[in-house]
Copies of this chain bind each other. A is one copy, B any other.
Amino acid sequence: MSLDLPPAVDIREVGLRDGLQLERPIGLDAKLAIIAALVATGVRRIEATAFVSPRAVPAMADCDQVAAQLHRWPHVLWSALVASPNGARRALDAGFTELEYVVSAADGHSLANVGRTSDDALALTAPIAELVHQRGGHCEVIVAVAWDCPFDGPTPPARTVEIARRATELGADRLALGDTIGTTTPRRVVDLVQAVRSAAGLDVGVHFHDTRGTGQANVLAAVQAGVTQIDASVGGLGGCPFAPGASGNIATEELVYMLQESGVNTGIDLDAVLVAAGLVEQAVGHPLASSLHRAGGRPKPLGRVGLHLP
């Protein structure tokens, strides 16, 4: 038996959006320093911000100011998250062409998150995709609570598949599955990825939270099932490490370490991610969840000076 892994994967850094959205807003200068550090890691895709209500998500209130700076790094594929056609218009006007739109697969989460049923949220895929396509861009639909909903319990796989299939019909150019509360596990990952890909006829990305220590195992299962689009957050940012049950995305540095050491190219420099994580930790003012951020990569050998114990 040999692990069947792809030669390379494409990681999207979501720390600036999913990572920071629950934090107290940080200053624009600090955010731009983090952005520069993330760009320096070599990551090719970065979700920069969200065009959503600044009352609901104060940490994203600077979305236009952030957008105005991104021309400095033209080789990165920048994207923004939106929650409505109005948000899509704002993001496009700010210069984004790549948008992520979240559709929850369960009404409980959809109502809590955007005040609409999942069917109503799904229907908005069409006008959002149309706006994006008018500007020559691409619209990715992220299916949230794809495996489990905190309000409704397990999401029937057929419902996630249906949402993904209809989103594609309504104009989505890409799909991703979100494990919003960090409950899924390798077998469920493989089963759902395969079912969605087969029904929607599109490649499927994955967006895991590492709430129960299974995030990297889920990635390993996903890449074995052919997934090459993976979201991750520098430092495992997201949620609050002091709140019971809260947790962030899988940590970019742990993902890069696990994959690169297994022969899967990510194009990302591990040491540079650790530099970025240091900036993030300083900016948010609390320890990050990432174990690798604390431990570092493979340590340099200590040598044996003074080691010859009796």
Q: CB within 8 Å of B: which residues of A?
A: 1-5, 107-108, 111-112, 115, 148-154, 181-188, 190, 194, 210-217, 219-221, 224-226, 236, 244-245, 247, 250-251, 254, 257-258, 261-263, 289-292, 294-304, 307-310
- Most chain B CB within a 10 A radius of its CB, from A5, A112, A250: A112
Which partner residue on chain B sits nearest A219 by CB separation?
Answer: B217
Which partner residue on chain B sits nearest A220 by CB separation?
Answer: B217
Q: Is the CB of B150 within 8 A of A221?
A: no
Min CB–CB distance A306 → chain B (angstroms): 10
Min CB–CB distance A288 → chain B (angstroms): 12
Min CB–CB distance A156 → chain B (angstroms): 13
Interface of A is mostly: loop
| A1-B4, A1-B190, A111-B304 known; A214 vs B216 contact (CB < 8 Å) | yes
Min CB–CB distance A91 → chain B (angstroms): 23
Could you say which residues of chain B place their CB within 8 Å of the CB of A226? 1
Could you say which residues of chain B place their CB within 8 Å of the CB of A108? 301-304, 307
Q: How far is the CA of A302 from the CA of B152 in the complex (A)?
A: 7
Q: Is the CB of A185 within 8 A of B258?
A: yes
Q: How far is the CA of A144 from the CA of B188 in the complex (A)?
A: 33
Q: Is the CB of B298 within 8 A of A3?
A: no
Could you say which residues of chain B place their CB within 8 Å of the CB of A154? 298
| A216-B217, A307-B108 known; A186 vs B301 contact (CB < 8 Å) | no
Q: Is the CB of A188 within 8 A of B3?
A: no
Q: How far is the CA of A99 from the CA of B262 in the complex (A)?
A: 33
Of B115, B295, B299, which contacts A310 at CB under 8 A? B115
Copies of this chain in the oligomer:
2
Q: Is the CB of B261 within 8 A of A187?
A: yes
Of B224, B247, B303, which contacts A291 at CB under 8 A? B247
Q: Is the CB of A213 within 8 A of B291?
A: yes
Could you say which residues of chain B place their CB within 8 Å of the CB of A263? 187
Q: Is the CB of A217 within 8 A of B111?
A: no
Q: Is the CB of A221 within 8 A of B186?
A: no
Which partner residue on chain B sits nearest A243 by CB separation?
Answer: B294
Could you say which residues of chain B place their CB within 8 Å of the CB of A289? 291
Could you say which residues of chain B place their CB within 8 Å of the CB of A112? 307, 309
Q: How far is the CA of A299 from the CA of B183 in the complex (A)?
A: 8
| A212-B291, A258-B217 known; A187 vs B296 contact (CB < 8 Å) | no
Q: Is the CB of B150 within 8 A of A302?
A: yes
Q: How far is the CA of A203 from the CA of B187 in the complex (A)?
A: 24
List, sorted by A's number, 21 A–B pairs whose CB atoms are closer than 8 Å. A1-B194, A3-B187, A3-B221, A5-B186, A108-B302, A150-B301, A150-B302, A152-B304, A183-B298, A184-B261, A186-B262, A212-B254, A212-B297, A213-B254, A213-B257, A213-B290, A213-B292, A217-B217, A220-B220, A245-B294, A245-B299
